[in-house]
Amino acid sequence: MITTLKSDYFTKEQEQIARFAKALGHPVRIAILQLLNTQSCCYHGDMAQELPIAKSTLSQHLNELKAAGLIQGDITPPTVKYCINRKNWVLAKRLMNGLLS
């Protein structure tokens, strides 16, 4: 008996779009991306002052964006600096444009 996995039905592109879409599925994450897209990088503490959420909540959202590959972080204790992952940002725009056109 041959078992077919559900993941065999979807292309890598469809899976990547879903990862990006999931990461974009919260208004705080959209605000984070908009903030980071206007500057080269931003420190976690600075973002916590800009956004009306607790630092721990901010960290959870940053982790989701990082897991999706939309941002990258530079951890130099005691500071953490984040910026847009430009390569994946371009990929996300291309894939989303293709999906929505």
Q: What is the pLDDT of residues 32-78, one digit of tens each?
A: 999 999 988 899 888 989 899 999 999 999 999 999 999 999 888 78
Domains of the chain, start order: 18-100 (1.10.10.10)
Reported as a single tens digit per residue, the pLDDT across 89-99 is 999 999 999 99
Q: How confident is the model at residue 7 (pLDDT cuts 50, 70, 90)?
A: low
Judge contact between 57 and 28, C-beta under 8 A: yes
CA–CA dist 32, 52 (Å, integer) = 11
Q: How confident is the model at residue 4 (pLDDT cuts 50, 70, 90)?
A: low
